[in-house]
Amino acid sequence: MQMNDCARAIQYLRANAAKYNIDKSRIASYGGSAGACISMWLAFHDDMADPKSSDPVAKESTRLTAAGSQNGQPTLDPRTFEEWFGVGKLQVHPALLYLFGVRTEAELEKPEVRKLIVDASPITHLTKGDAPVFLSNGQGDVVNGTPDPNQIVHHARLGIKLKEQMDKLGIECWTQYPGGPAVTQYRNVVDFLIAKLKA
């Protein structure tokens, strides 16, 4: 999965911290849509470092100081989308078919594909002590009829649902979207990330 490639990139940066003048204890990730999903996956996933590896890169941590999301997806599971939106059967975004190497929505129910979907969903890995996250969405938490796939995967409700889970675990999480509660601590996701990296 692309998530594993990005985890390896984090390890590479840490292994070469002196070369690139990087403080390896302060690394954050931010992206839009798919990049946001991967950033959250890195923020929540258990450390993938292998201290016993002969590869110096693989020995490095994959954990983040903080993560930012612009219209990102804390889940890639069509079942969870339907649960969160509560409007019946939803059309699956075509990108999910490509991501999991299938051609039809029916194939997403294969056990081996279900396993991939669950593992690729950031919220699957969410546990107490994970990195703080700031989520920004361009659309409000409004559902008129059955939303189309592009609305579903970029909807403010995804961030709202993630925040509910992070609040329960006592993990800092901010959501910023039209019509939502004001975020007074930070102007935006960039302000948040800078503050966390300087802390």
Residue 89 has a pLDDT of 87
Q: In what order do the strands lie in the sheet with 133-136?
A: 28-32, 66-70, 133-136, 173-176
What tens digit of pLDDT does each residue of 137-182 get? 998 898 888 889 999 999 999 999 999 999 999 999 999 999 999 9
What tens digit of pLDDT does each residue of 44-101 get? 999 999 999 999 999 999 999 999 999 999 999 999 999 999 988 899 999 999 999 9
Q: What is the pTM of this model?
A: 0.95
Q: Which residues make Cβ contacts (< 8 Å) with residue 107, sequence separation at least 6?
A: 97, 113
Residue 43 has a pLDDT of 98
List residues bridging with 67 in a β-sheet. Answer: 29, 133
- What is the Cβ-side half-sphere exposure of residue 117, based on CA atoms within 13 angstroms? 23
Residue 152 has a pLDDT of 93
**N- to C-terminal Cα separation, the chain:** 32
DSSP string, 11-68: HHHHHTHHHHT--TT--EEEEETHHHHHHHHHHHSPP---TT-SSTTTTS----SEEE
Report CA-CA distances (Å) from 100 to 57, 104, 119, 150: 27, 11, 11, 18
